[in-house]
Structure 1
Amino acid sequence: MEKIITWFKKRLPVFKFLFLLSVIIVVIFQLVTLSKTITPEQIADVFQSIPLWKLAVMLVIGLVAILPMLNYDIILNKMLGQKLKPSFLLESSWSINTINNMVGFGGVFTIGLRTEFFGKEIDGKKLLQHLSKLLLFLMSGLSVFSLVSFILLFTMPMNHYITDYWIWLLGGSLYFPVVLLVTKLKKEGILGGLAAKYRWQLLLTSTLEWAGVLISFLSIGALMDIKVNFFAVIPLFIASSVIGIVSMIPGELGSFDVMMIFGLASLGVPHDVAVTWILLYRLFYYVIPFIIGAVFLFKNLGGEIDSRYNGIPKELLQEIAHKVLVFALYFSGSMMVLLATIPEAFNHFQWLNHINPWRLHFISQFPSLLLGFLLLVMGRATANRSQKAYLPTLILLALASVYIFFSEFNTATLVFLVLLFVLAVFSKRELYRKQFVYSWESMTMDGLLYTALFILYIAIGIYNLPAFPHRNHHTIDFFLFPSERTWLTGFIAIVVVASIIWLFIKYLQGEKKVLGEKVADEQVYQVLNKYGGNPESQLAFLGDKNIYFYNDGTENTVFLQMNTHNDKCVIMGDPAGKESDFADAIQQLIHDADILGYHPVFYEVSEKLVMLLHEFGYDFIKMGEAAEVDLTTFTISGKKMKGQRATMNRLQKEGYQFEVLKPPFNQETMASLREVSDAWLAGRKEKGFSLGFFSEDYLQKSPISVIKDQTGAIVAFANIMPTYTETIGTIDLMRHNPETAPSGTMDFLFINLFEYMHNEGLTVFDLGMAPLSNVGTSRKSFTQERIAYLVYQFGSHFYSFQGLRDYKEKYAAEWVPSYTAYSRDSWIIYVMSALLIIDNAPVEK
């Protein structure tokens, strides 16, 4: 026995999960079954035939009728000797009892639910004993009313149909005396040991519960103005309930309804009226209280489940609600616009009318167009998770409700709007972004939708022109307008609506904030000097990029360089600083970018960083390969370097010299360097971002290698970029004067640089990346890489990529791949476009 108990204890979480799952399945099954007996059309017809105030009274009575059942759990917790928070106790009790009303099964399911809510700190055996006693008394109130009904059969005039159920009423009336006697005689165990005060409290609670049930049903009949002998309805209702409960059918569906319909018919109540009576009873006593109970259940039990599974269930539900809300806003906005443009189509095509949530037969153009298009905009802002979308969405839904109410009230539309309200409120936490950035991807999708609707309206206008030859062919009736004036009015409305939409989008966008900031050089130096950098770190001093710092709580340890265009925040190269903080820095950057509505794009990053980004859900493509020279083995000896040896010997004989100049540089030196740079540019605009440009402040921060001619004039130069590492050396600007520098000057410069850096103790020289080297050229390449190759080749005219690869091939000992990583929400063609714009933007002097 102990082994069995131990086995069950180990698997208790599994059994709890299976129990909750079974409750959900049974409830869903019950709702599906109930939906077959209560259709939306029936509800709409009933609501239209009964005054609103009467429906409100029915709802209040139905909710009040639930209240006595809450005392079951108040008594239970007194018996258990525990004091729970009143709000939790009442909300949980409401959930338990309304779910039990729907599920039925004689209250069996309430044992599991009450154990989950109230039994966590109670001994299992003790809890089971108290729950069993509580379960015994659930039907005692029905037994009391069975006795009352049995007496009514012989004291009031009844027809034969009702008196035939005397045996069920007699049997039901014997239940509560037996329960009272057994619980009194038994001193302990599952059935015994219950104090007298609790016995009478439970009996009174059950009696009040069934009084509430009976009053709810009879009140609905009275408010419907049904002329019937209510003293005859009471035995019929109680007998039907007894049979339904004995059958253990969920919610007593089927047996109760059939008996009540036939019994009411015997009392002179028409069949359709009886069905409506039962429908309203089901709605106000079962369905609506159950919906409220489901909300309480989700609030109390859902929070525990959510914390048990690290918040994933709540996040998942909010995400689903957010997706549904976005779809609903787009769908309802589109339907409203179509209603304004081709209203007759909704009568012509019944399927279109069925899916239309607004259900209007006629709708004036301007309000419909305005609300429709604004709902589309809010759908986009909601999809973008903008905080600014929340309040306008609620206001628009409220305006739509008012508009529908005064145009042509419809219950189905009202329910639809209420659901949208609920989804909007529930999705509020999904709207966390502080600004709305209208991405190219979103503009493309919305533009196609707006353009299609606009072209449709224009086409309809052309179709309605008197000169259009549609009269000789089959006429599409719903494309016809009453007059050209009507169409022109609608067209003017579209123009006005477009202007309002533009202003609305500007409001949503607000003042644009970008990621990172312009910072003083000292802040960058602090990170580089303490934690190190990489071959791109020195580009931070160009001043053309924003710098994003990661702070570990005490100091800045990592920084990244970036610029922003549209929603693409392009990060240049790997992070610089403390390598152990790179993952945290990347995670923080992605989070901060997300809050501002940006999608980071990591440009020219290493394979190691790409693997880290892949864990954050990023896709990537190869952008090229970087050439690295092994300074420990480099030599110009051998057949392969024959041409380079010749160049070195020739320029040395002609008196050209290699020299490394150390900062600070005087104005004369800067003027000479600028002259070489201008000659090399030959009027072309300089690029920035991933490459350096001629800036005196920038060049003053590092040594510059130069080639001088016989007179000491500088004919070529390359600034040496500190990498803040002990192994890697590199350069940035590589420029020569085409008029004064002989052929082979750059080879002469590089070979001397290799020797110089080797003497400085460095082991690798980074020659930089050859863009698109070995990228997208194979038929087996990824589609994204082939698109990237085409876009980049088409959009960039500054360098010959293949020529750059061939030149670096002479010295490279190894080619290291370089990648671009981007969010899966971004389209590769727009990622590449943003890279081209940012990387090829001309530098302002």
Structure 2
Amino acid sequence: MSLPTPAPSVRRVLTLVLGVGLLVAAAALLHRTFRHHPWHQLGDDLLALGPVTVAAAVAATACSYLAMTGYDAMALRHVGHRLPYRRYGFASFVATAFGNNLGASAVVGAALRARAYATWKVPGATIARIIGFNLLTLALGAAVLAGGGMLHDPAGVGRALRLPPPVTLALGAALLAAVVAYLGWAVVTRRPIGWRQRRLVPPAPRLAVAQVVLSTVEWLTMAAVLFVLLPADARPGFLAFAVAFAVATIAGLVSNVPGGLGVFESTLVVLLGATTSPADLAVALVAYRLVYYVVPLLLAAVLLAVHEVRQLPLPPLRRPALRRPTLDAPFGLALVVAAAGVFMLVVGDLPCPAELDLSGVTTSLAGLAALLAARGLRRRLKGAWAATLALLTGVTVVSAGHGDVALPVVTACLAGLLVATRSVFYRGAFLCRRQTLLVPVVAVVLVAGAVWWQESSRFTPVDAPLLTAPFAGGASAADRVAMAAGILGVFLGVRWISRATTVRHGVADPEELDRAGDIVARNGRCLSQLAFTGDKRFWFSPGGEAFLMYQVSGRSWIVMGDPVGNPADFRDLVADFLAEVDRHDGRPVFYNVRADHADLYRESGLSLAKLGEEAVLPLADFSFAGKAKTNLRNCRNKSQKLGMSVEFVAPQDVEPLLPELRVVSEAWLGHRNGKEKRFSLGAFDEEYVARFPLVVVRQEGRVIAFATLWIGADDGEVQVDLMRRLPDGPRTVMTYLFVECIAWAQENGFTAFSLGMAPLAGLRTDESASMWDRIGHLLWTHGEQFYNFKGLREFKQGFLPQWRTCYVAAPGGPDLPNAMVDVVTLVGGGLRGVLRG
């Protein structure tokens, strides 16, 4: 049975639904506005603009992007970090170009800026301040223009934004008041603001004024790009146009639709009203998209690809899957295929010349399929590659047979590119190798039925875009069902092909367990004993002298601890494992590792984040004497007076005690109203418990507590693993158990005793702290109702140990929190187990 994939968060779903809803609404409005435009003449219309007009638009575009680099220059000056222009100019241009096109521009732009600055060793906290400063600068100019426009014409702006004039007036006043307040804070008061340890320091007065001026100029140059593309006799006043442009752009940004596509245009149509005809505006808008969005995106893609290639490490490792993700063939192809999909989706809803009788429904459904399949191409999936190639080939043949010229040329070129780049699509299985065929069969039937319904002349043409056709008022019930079925079929089919090969839940077989046991006996640390919990898979090195123990949860392939075995095999072992993870489009996670192999993880493209601290007692000089150990001695004496005694049991003598131990374990679990944790901890399994030495605490002959002991083979260390006690037993019993275990380990010549890890302890809280550090510290501070983080560390600190840092090695950025959710789900035995504690 395959492991379930964690459901997306409610916020993510709502954001997606909102974005799609806005896109559909905007598409409907644009379709009604431009439905009579002769789109087959668009090429001639664009050529008719003339070289002077195009050159002016290109010049305005260059000025706009150049002004955006000034944002970074001011931000770097504000945070006191010097960089040459070639670096921050590159970061600004790439982040702006991709953010404008891909939607969620603040997030995309911030991620790309962070990626670029991080390669130049800019601290994380400084990067965050730079990004925040840039977003604020961008907002200031928008607030000046949009706020002024709302105060000047609240009725017109209100119609465009679907707001009553009083609300629009109040919103405009608030925007301008915010700009004035910001300048007052930076120029007059000059006082830092914040809460607790967080402080916002105002920029220098000249810098604050420069922010407002430069941002306003940048917005004006952006508006100038579209303004010069309009016919001279159809242009309104430039300032009025710039205000309308700013309002429309903000609406597009808020919509989170890629490039504000549709939302920007529809808002601008309403704001300009009768000033500019739809035909003139349509040509200018298409040219504007090409000049301001597409051309900079292509240039930014080339620059980013060159930058990423230069950052690739070249260690002497045989590792096809260890490189950091770069903007490569799959990304570029996915972007182009998505663009072709949008083109087909729009063209299918617009009037065509009479000689081109290709079904609009067929073209639109093909475009929707290409748009959705682009994500699978980005993930390098074989199934997505095969399905997209088949789709493009079919569109090429059908559209060419109907007399079209442009569409078959585009789709044929894309199909050729897919064939030429076949080798980079290696994840998952081909379509014919999938086990479940019910979903694709249903999808094909639904899509074929929708196409047949239209092609059989039973379909009544609907004056609405494809995505809104099922709800169009002029459509018959049968037509609505047919369109809805076609859309549903496309979604089902693309979702089916966009899945990587499912990794089924499984554990090691007895032969693998024996191989791992031999390696653990020779080279294993204490943590290596988790190989015998019975819930893990093993990945052995090519030489067979080392292994990783892991399990799959969601997309995460979670390795427990460092590699086990001969260190000479570790590099090839990690390389082979990561290649397998990459082939399944997985996320590698090395959980609870030490700093010993940090270089290997970093060379493998993984980031190290602090997980917590392990309490370790070096036993050579350890003593219970002295004032600092008074509490431990008192606990020992008090426990003995209460009739408690300790017995150490060898593994071969554990079996007769198992019935008594099970009673204690079940009582402990019942008191906690929880279930066994697994993977990173031992669970009460009789075969597992009987493998290890055991320490038993008795009171008046009755077992009241016990613990299993791990013994490392290569470092002479002892660690307590599975611990259980009766809920009604003495409160000092666990401290007494630890004291006696430490004394036993010291008497038997062991070098160190580990009290285990204190999760989330010691995470950084200064300005250079990462996002994970901040999240972890928040859980440490406010998560006591879920887990006794502070109490556990205070208990272990009572033994005065040395603290050894433990890490998690995983892909950086947002992948790390997602990976940790998968870890918690795996350890807790599923979401229900996590919630039950």
TM-score range normalised by the length of the shorter chain: 0.5 to 0.7
Cα 1:496/1:565, change in 2 over 3 Å: farther
> Which residues of 2 match residues 616-765 of structure 1 at below 5 A?
616-665=604-653, 668-681=656-669, 682=671, 683-710=673-700, 712-739=701-728, 741-765=729-753
> Pick from 368, 372, 380: which aligns with 1:373?
368
- Report whether the alignment pairs 1:837 with 2:825: yes
Aligned to 2:174: none
What's 2:542 paired with?
Answer: 551
**1:413 corresponds to which letter in structure 2?**
L
Shift of 1:650: 1.5
CA distance in 2, matches of 1:481, 1:671: 66
Per the TM alignment, residue 550 of structure 1 is displaced from its structure 2 partner at its CA by 1.3
- Against the structure 1 CA distance between its residues 317 and 832, is the aligned structure 2 distance closer, same or farther, given a 3 Å change threshold? closer
Question: What's 1:432 paired with?
Answer: 426
Pick closer, same or farther for the CA change 1:483–1:618 going to 2, 3 Å.
closer
Partner of 1:801: 789
One-letter amino acid of the structure 2 residue matched with residue 819 of structure 1: Y
The answer as to whether partners of 1:359 and 1:413 remain within 8 angstroms in 2 is no
2:574 equivalent to 1:570: no
> What are the within-5 Å matches in structure 2 for residues 350-361 of structure 1?
none
Structure 2: distance between partners of 1:642 and 1:436: 68
Q: Structure 1 residue 703: deviation in Å?
A: 1.0
Instruction: Say whether the 8 Å CA contact 2:608–2:810 is kept in structure 1.
Output: yes
- Aligned AA (1:689): F
Q: Which amino acid aligns with 2:371?
A: L
**Contact in 1 for aligned 2:707/2:721 (Cα 8 Å):** yes
CA distance in 1, matches of 2:325, 2:592: 37
Q: Quote the Cα distance in structure 2 between the aligned partners of 1:522 and 1:406.
A: 64
Confirm or deny: 8 A CA contact 2:561 2:590 kept in the other structure.
yes
**Shift in Å, 1:490:** 5.7
Bigger mean CA deviation after superposition, 666-675 or 634-643:
666-675
* Residues 1:742 and 1:671: Cα distance change in structure 2 (over 3 Å): same
How big is the shift at 1:560?
A: 1.2
Specify the alignment match of 1:448 in structure 2: none
State the 1:655 CA deviation: 2.6
C-alpha RMSD over aligned residues: 3.9
Give the partner amino acid of 2:691: K
For 2:533, the equivalent position in structure 1 comes to 542
How far is 1:316 from its partner?
A: 13
Rounded to whole Å, the distance in 2 between the matches of 1:620 and 1:666 is 39
Q: Does residue 410 of structure 2 align to residue 416 of structure 1?
A: yes
Match of 1:529 in 2: 521
Rounded Cα–Cα distance in structure 1 between residues aligned with 2:319 and 2:721:
49
- Quote the Cα distance in structure 2 between the aligned partners of 1:749 and 1:755: 10
One-letter code aligned to 2:531: A
Query: What is aligned with 1:402?
Result: 397
Runs of 5+ in structure 2 lacking a partner? 1-41, 48-317, 432-463
Which structure has more relative contact order (CA 8 Å, sep 6+)? It is 2
Distance 1:479 1:519, change over 3 A: closer
- Distance change (3 Å), C-alpha of 1:606 and 1:670: same
Pairing of 1:266-665 with structure 2 (within 5 A)? 320-340=328-348, 343=350, 364=359, 366-406=361-401, 409-410=404-405, 412-435=406-429, 484-486=473-475, 489=479, 493-507=483-497, 509=499, 512-513=502-503, 517-520=507-510, 521-530=513-522, 532-552=523-543, 556-665=544-653
Secondary structure of the 1:371 match is helix
- Distance across 1 between alignment mates of 2:354 and 2:378: 26
Q: In the aligned structure 1, how far is the partner of 2:324 from the partner of 2:709?
A: 52
Any conservation in 1 of the 2:330–2:379 contact (CA below 8 Å)?
Answer: no
Give 3-state SS (helix, strand or coil) of 1:640's partner. Answer: helix
Residue type matched to 1:381 in 2? Answer: G
Q: Give secondary structure in 1 for the equivalent of 2:395.
A: helix
Q: Is the 8 A contact 1:731 1:767 kept in 2?
A: yes
- The letter of the residue matching 1:699 is V
Conservation of the 8 A alpha-carbon contact between 2:784 and 2:790: no
In the alignment, the residues of structure 2 paired with residue 724 and residue 524 of structure 1 have an alpha-carbon distance, to the nearest angstrom, of 13
Tell me the amino acid that sits aligned with residue 394 of structure 1. Answer: L
| Partners of 2:595 and 2:814 in 1: CA distance | 21
What is the distance in 2 between the residues matched to 1:619 and 1:360?
58
Quote the residue 1:137 is aligned against.
Answer: none
Paired residues of 1:435 and 1:509 also in contact (CA < 8 A): no
CA drift at 1:732: 0.6
TM-score (normalizing by structure 2): 0.52
SS in 2 for 1:405: helix
Distance 1:427 1:794, change over 3 A: farther
Determine if contact 2:337/2:370 at 8 Å carries over to the other structure: yes
The change in CA–CA distance for 1:639 and 1:792 in structure 2 (over 3 A counts) is closer
SS of 2:547 mapped into structure 1: strand
Counterparts of 1:311 and 1:818, CA distance in 2: 26
Shift of 1:715: 0.7
Q: Secondary structure at the match of 1:664?
A: helix
Kindly provide the amino acid, as one letter, of the partner of residue 425 in structure 1.
V
> Which residue of structure 1 aligns with residue 105 of structure 2?
none
Aligned equivalents of 1:604, 1:537: Cα separation in 2: 11
**Which segments of 5 or more consecutive residues in structure 1 lack a partner in the other structure?**
1-39, 46-309, 348-357, 438-474
Q: Measure how far apart 1:343 and its partner are.
A: 3.9
Q: Distance in 1 between matches of 2:777 and 2:485?
A: 40
Deviation at 1:803, TM superposition (A): 1.0
Structure 1 Cα separation of the partners of residues 781 and 667 of structure 2: 26
Alpha-carbon distance in structure 1 between the residues aligned to 2:530 and 2:324:
42
Identity %: 26
Query: What is the Cα deviation at residue 496 of structure 1?
Result: 3.9
Match of 2:815 among 827, 834, 840: 827
User: What is aligned with 1:29?
Assistant: none
User: Using the alignment, how far apart are the partners of 1:737 and 1:361 within structure 2?
Assistant: 82
Counterpart position of 2:148: none
Q: Distance in 1 between matches of 2:641 and 2:581?
A: 57
Structure 2 CA distance, aligned partners of 1:621 and 1:577? 24
Amino acid at match of 1:766: S
Distance 1:811 1:343, change over 3 A: farther
What letter is aligned with 2:404? F
Counterpart code for 1:738: P
**1:776: how far off?**
5.0
If you compute each CA radius of gyration, which structure gives the higher value, 1 or 2? 1
- The amino acid across from 2:502 in the alignment is K
Q: Deviations over 1:20-41 (max 9, x none)?
A: xxxxxxxxxxxxxxxxxxxx97
What does residue 28 of structure 1 align with?
none
Instruction: Check the 8 A contact 1:514/1:596 in 2, yes or no.
Output: no
Query: How has the CA–CA distance of structure 1 residues 359 and 774 changed in structure 2, closer, same or farther, with 3 Å as cutoff?
Result: farther
What residue identity is the alignment partner of 1:612?
L
Q: Corresponding residue for 1:82?
A: none
CA drift at 1:665: 4.7
C-alpha distance after superposition, 1:94-151 (max 9, x if no partner):
xxxxxxxxxxxxxxxxxxxxxxxxxxxxxxxxxxxxxxxxxxxxxxxxxxxxxxxxxx
SS in 2 for 1:657: strand
Distance 1:408 1:809 in 2: 80
What do the CA deviations read for 1:692-749 (whole angstroms, capped 9, x no partner)?
Answer: 1111110011111111112x2111111011322242111211221121x212111111
